[in-house]
Amino acid sequence: MPFSAETIKEKAAEIGFHRTGIVPAQPLYEEGDRLNEWLKRGYHGQMAWLAREPYKRSDPRLLFPAARSVIVTALNYYTDNPHSKDPSAGKISRYAWGDDYHDVVRKKLTELLDWMRSMDASVDGKICVDTAPMMDKAWAVRAGLGWLGKHTNLITTDAGSWVFIGEILVNVELEYEHQKVEDHCGTCTACLDACPTGAIVGPYLVDSRKCISYATIELRDETLPVNISSNLDGWFYGCDICQDVCPWNRFEKPTFEEGFEPRRGETSIHLDEVLDMTPESYAERFRRSAIKRAKLPGLKRNAAALKTVGGLEPSLADDN
């Protein structure tokens, strides 16, 4: 074979990934059992796709039958920018400040897979970036990229938890990682203590239905639950509280990926701009942005909730 695991990692680093691990494409039995228990508790809320054929998430060979190896990558997305303290603006989660990470990570993974194919024409593979039925964080842990924090985000020792995860399933056997990274959370409960809605119901366990990120992005209800709307603290899209307080994020370092810098230099968005948006202006404003994940009615709902909490004007519901 014209490439080794080491040369793959070197190429991945050249492309921009800050960590890469390679493991066999074998089922995640234990992690799959935990996922099933989480689903049984209803902690996924309205994210029905997570409960659709969950067994596929445990075995990559059901997604790509030819899979022999899983190349797992981590891409640092941290940029050193503060949130606006303007009460008339809503805070955006750091991961959505720049270009849509799906596009950025997929482009880099495609470059890596194309390079492998150029070295060996028999190589075939499938790229996975979040939307594929893969347990991304579990694969990252198995590949030795970091450990799962008590807030359920992957934590790396060199970039904290500000990382995007992606995988390539390939049809060739490679040299594999044999050591996982030890869990370094210890007795720390900073993330559990800081969550204003109690969404982290126990170490390593999140009830999405109580989570500000879930509510402001995935929830399709016309109004936000009271436990969410009364604890937004300025969050308009997503929430970074559990990561902001994580001691391991003292190791955060700026990414080299310019696409993750805040668009228009904004880490927050004016609420009136959102409330005045039309479908056309919404599509233009958030083209190639992860924020388009939340549809326009949801964004307007979030903006109205923030204005109501801030005493700036009545909610949309009151206007009807």
Active-site residue set: 130
Residue 102's alpha-carbon distances to 43, 64, 166, 266, in angstroms, are: 24, 20, 9, 20
DSSP letter assigned to residue 89: E
Angle between helices 5-15 and 101-119 (to 10 degrees): 140
Q: Cβ distance 2 to 119 under 8 Å? A: yes
| CB 89, CB 268: distance < 8 Å | yes
148: three-class secondary structure by DSSP: strand
Contacts for 94 with CB less than 8 Å, ≥ 6 apart: 77, 78, 79, 162, 240, 243, 267
- Amino acid, single-letter form, for residue 228: I
